[in-house]
Amino acid sequence: MRARLFVAAGVSALMVVSFPSISRLAAQAPAAQAGDPVFEVASVKANKSGDNRIGIGFQPGGRFKATNVPLRELISAAYGTPQPLPAFQISGGPKWIESDRFDIVAKAAGDPQPGPNGAPPEMFLMLRNLLAERFQLTVHRETKELPIYTLVMARSDGKLGPRYTPQRPTAPP
């Protein structure tokens, strides 16, 4: 059985992150622009436990909790609504966004209601504003040409080979 692998160019959306020089996490920084949703209260702390287990999620009552999460994962969650952004779609930033870990506990005013895809949509905006406020995160979106791989048949008759026998699906018991 032989197959050919072709490489083609494709276009993908990419998020580029950048940070001004950061010497410490801000206890309180200027609020987001007027009208932007923000958490009523939030705590951001560095996690030095050395544990590799992470937890991240939106909880009922307008709560957000992240435990031992690298900043890259927080960015992925904030900008990849409803599913996190794939790693290849985040580019830039210092190396520590992959290695340094953080604990975040935040509470929104009121009780935002879940959206059709899970968490309340405004909670993602609140998380974006929290990252901009506490980490001075800035992002921009750009389109970049990336390789795309396609596996195609090498045989003109469409068969995979003499020793391959297709299996027919069986009915469930």
162 assigned to some structural domain: no
Residue 157 has pLDDT above 60, yes or no: yes
In a domain, residue 72? The reply is: yes
**Within a domain: residue 85?**
yes
Q: Are residues 90 and 76 in contact, defined by beta-carbon separation less than 8 angstroms?
A: yes
Q: Is the pLDDT of residue 29 over 50?
A: no
Distance CA 18, CA 126 (A): 19
- Indicate if the pLDDT at residue 25 is higher than 90: no
The number of CA neighbours under 13 Å toward the Cβ of 7 is: 3
1 pLDDT above the threshold of 70: no
Domain enclosing residue 10, as ranges: 3-153
- When pLDDT is averaged across residues 102-128 and rounded to a whole number, the result is 89
Q: Is residue 170 part of a domain?
A: no
Number of structural domains found in the chain: 1
Q: If you average pLDDT over residues 45-55, what whole number do you get?
A: 93
Domain assignment present for 164: no
Average pLDDT, the chain: 81
| pLDDT number for residue 13 | 60
Whether 158 is in a domain gets the answer no
Please enumerate in sequence order all residues whose Cβ is within 8 A of that of 94, keeping only pairs 6 or more positions apart, or say none.
Answer: 19
- Cβ atoms of 57 and 51 within 8 Å: the answer is no
What whole-number percentage of the chain has pLDDT above 90? 39
